[in-house]
């Protein structure tokens, strides 16, 4: 006798996929089947309100919608000289720490500059001799 296996249609989200749950954007870390027939989707927050927060969503309770890159709608920047786009890109660059050697001063040169600055300031302080 062969047993018929019950096939449950569980949504599967690949790790790294971006999803929208409760109007916030998340990145999928893992998907596990839950005992109730759906999936438990472990995510980390991406949007401003939930950034770097970990959460687990059950597909039976929450609507988990995958963001598909091919459905992305590009919007034209109508600001003069692409001002909004340049401002957005500049803000992203300012949030990114420097990664090249040119942007970081060598520690020994920085120390010498600090010592010479201190010496210049102490030379300018008048010394008053007091007699006992």
Q: What is the pLDDT of residues 7-50, one digit of tens each?
A: 456 678 999 999 999 999 999 999 999 888 889 999 999 998 99
pLDDT score of 1: 46
Share of the chain above pLDDT 70, in %: 67
Sequence-ordered list of residues with C-beta below 8 angstroms from that of 96, at least 6 positions apart, any chain = none
Q: Report the predicted TM-score, pTM, of the whole model to 2 decimal places.
A: 0.55
């Amino acid at each position: 006798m062969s047993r018929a296996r019950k096939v449950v249609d569980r949504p599967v989200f690949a790790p790294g996929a971006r999803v929208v749950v409760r109007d916030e954007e998340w990145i999928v870390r893992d998907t596990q089947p839950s005992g109730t027939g759906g999936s438990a989707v472990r995510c980390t927050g991406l949007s401003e309100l939930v950034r770097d927060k970990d959460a687990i969503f059950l597909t039976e309770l929450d609507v988990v919608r995958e963001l598909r890159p091919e459905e992305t709608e590009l919007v034209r920047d109508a600001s003069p000289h692409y001002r909004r786009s340049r401002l957005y890109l500049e803000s992203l660059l300012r949030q990114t720490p420097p990664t090249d050697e040119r942007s970081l001063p060598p520690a020994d040169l920085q120390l010498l500059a600090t010592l010479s600055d201190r010496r210049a300031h102490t030379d300018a302080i008048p010394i008053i001799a007091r007699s006992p």
